[in-house]
Amino acid sequence: MSSLYDILKDVINEKAHIPFDFENNCLVIDEKANTNENELQSVVFDFGRKANQYTFHFAFELDNNEASFLGKLFRWNLDNIRKAVDAVVLCEKNNQKYIFLIELKSYNYNMLDLRNKFKSSILFVNYLNEYLKVYQGLNFDDFKVVSIVFDRKVNKEVQFNERYGFYHQGFSNTNGKTYIRKFID
């Protein structure tokens, strides 16, 4: 465990924490709103089997009904900053730190809404960064942000969408599995 983990577990509402499975070296990211048998319900985000290849710091749900997102403070008509991604994952590899912004979708979604979710989530990460600087003496300035959409639009390889600035991976079934190395190696 990192000191960042210890700090964030005390700062982020515990209802929003995503537990790391240390035995299997992975996270399971659930989309609780997707209850239909055809919708993407979860993705296993596997950190691989090589010891110490990746360092997990923390993961939490930003779009959690029990732990309100900071964006909900804004007026309802400012929909572009009231939305958030499903998960935020902080980790590192070879001294490069990463913040993964992860969104789970099924089939149909609006690309502009999706881009706004990533933007507003980055605003929250920036807010959290300022908190850590002021109160903890830590910061995310050297973290690289990686945005990812997982959905049911099957594709064989991870693809990067240049226009909207995120990676995409689709799954044929409702519970997918992917490897972190596909997005940073």
pLDDT in tens, the chain (185 residues): 568 899 999 989 899 999 999 999 999 999 887 778 888 899 999 998 775 688 899 999 987 777 666 666 667 677 677 688 999 999 998 889 999 999 998 877 888 889 889 998 998 899 899 999 999 988 888 899 999 999 988 887 899 999 889 999 999 888 889 988 889 86
Contact criterion met (CB below 8 Å) for 148 and 105: no
> 180 vs 49, 108, 123, 146, 184, CA distance in Å?
11, 25, 23, 11, 7
Domain interval for residue 104: 3-184
Residue among 84, 103, 90 at smallest CA distance from 166: 103
Number of domains into which the chain is organized: 1
The token pair that represents 153 in the structure block: 């639009």
Distance between CA atoms of residues 83 and 103, nearest Å:
11
